[in-house]
Amino acid sequence: MLRVLVLALLLSNAGYFAWTHGLLADYGFAPAIQSEPQRLAQQIRPEAMRLLSASEARQLAGSPPSAAVTPAAAECLQAGLFTEQQAGALRTRLQSSLPAGSWSLESSVEPGRWIVYMGQYTNEEALAKKRGELRQLGLSVEPLVNPALGPGLSLGHFSAQADAERELAKAVQRGVRTAKVVLERPEESGLWLKLPAVDASLRARLEALKPQLEGKTLQTCR
């Protein structure tokens, strides 16, 4: 009985081998052929395909996806203050050079500027010496806006005299003896040039308008 079972297994394996390899196709016995010729026709240059090396795959994975270059975002710029006379000449040039709605001239009042002042010194050497002394006291200095007060130093600027007086009292407590509160710049009224959305194209046009800005630089809107 066991011999019959072994013989049957051998015959079945031989038959399966013959069937899977098409040896029985002439007798009508063969597996179905899996073929999709339409997919082969859709392939584009299959001979150009190649396997990437490990280093090439890592380099490709670390590369940012390609994308269209996006233009830099527009920013708001301003310049001022301009007197009425300066603004009149500037307005005429703006109307002929920039698109309508890309700029405006806005009235503004700039408060006075009070400073804790030290000076005037006889020369730059004396100024540098005083700056070093203040540094040793842990005090910082600021540049002067009013050139008529130079050579001198400012220990801080304030929009109210009372605030400047309080800062002077603190400086005295730290050893400063010759400082005083002065009005560096009086209150001013005038007009600010505002450009709410300056892109690369508009910035290029602004280069030609620099002579009409009276030396005032464009700065980020506040």
The pLDDT of residue 128 is 94
CA–CA dist 132, 153 (Å, integer): 12
Return the residue matching tokens 């899996």: 34
Two structure tokens written together for 17: 């081998």
CA–CA dist 181, 166 (Å, integer): 10
How far, in Å, are 13, 16, 160, 163 from residue 30 at the CA level? 15, 10, 102, 102
CA–CA dist 192, 87 (Å, integer): 9
219 preceded by a cis bond (ω within 30 of 0): no
Query: What are the chain's domains?
Result: 75-110+188-220 (3.30.70.2030), 113-185 (3.30.70)
Number of H helices, E strands in the chain: 7, 7
pLDDT digits (tens, 9 = 90+) for 13-54: 766 666 566 666 666 666 655 555 555 556 666 665 666 666
The pLDDT of residue 145 is 86
Nearest of 213, 215, 201, 189 to residue 102 by alpha carbon: 201
pTM above 0.75, yes or no: no
